[in-house]
A and B are shown apart, each in its own frame.
Chain A
Amino acid sequence: DAGITQSPRYKITETGRQVTLMCHQTWSHSYMFWYRQDLGHGLRLIYYSAAADITDKGEVPDGYVVSRSKTENFPLTLESATRSQTSVYFCASSDLYATTGKIFGNQPQHFGDGTRLSIL
Chain B
Amino acid sequence: QVQLVESGGAMVQPGRSLRLSCAASGFTFRNYAIHWVRQAPGKGLEWVALVSHTGTGKYYADSVKGRFTISRDNSRNNVDLQMNSLKTEDTGLYYCAKDWTRFGVVAPDTWGQGTQVIVSS
Instruction: Please say whether chains A and B are actual partners in one complex.
Output: no
Residues of B whose CB lies within 8 Å of any CB of A are: none
